[in-house]
Homo-oligomer: A and B are copies of this chain.
Amino acid sequence: MGTKVRIDPGWPRFRRRTWAPAVRKGNMVFISGTAGTDEEGNLVGPGDVVAQTAQIYKKIGQLLAAAGATWDDVVWTTDYLVIDGDYQKTMDNYKRTADIRRQYFGTNFPASTAIIVEGLVSPDCLIEIEAIAVLGD
């Protein structure tokens, strides 16, 4: 199997945290709920779920690469949304993130669930995404 390996592209804000950005063990990669923040921890696109999602996919891509995985290896994602205005507006905006998923996955989509939660650890984020990848073919 190999031991558990911390996957961390050197993100400075993770040094003092009590979780890893991602870990790999054997052929599996587990990616923590990822927010649309930059390396200094500043939110990219406050109030803009599309911009935040684009930043999240960019960061998950960095984590996958650091783990030796590709987007085709991603089998599972969970999108955690928070209400932005009301339910209808939240869903309308969320639907506009579909193109980002097409850009990264092509048509080779993972299983996914999206839920609206009461809140996220990052106070101003509209979305966090977590993922699981299975390496190899």
Contacts and interface: CB of A to CB of B under 8 A. Distances in A.
A61 interface: no
B111 A19 contact: yes
B19 A110 contact: yes
A65 interface: no
A136 B27 CA distance: 12
Count identical subunits in the complex.
3
A127 to B, nearest CB: 11
Chain B CB within 10 Å — which of A21, A76, A130 has the most?
A76
A36 interface: no
Interface in A67-81: 72-73, 75-78, 80
Interface of A: 1-4, 6, 17-23, 25-28, 30-33, 72-73, 75-78, 80, 82-83, 87, 90-91, 94, 98, 101-102, 105, 108-121, 123, 128, 130, 132, 134-137
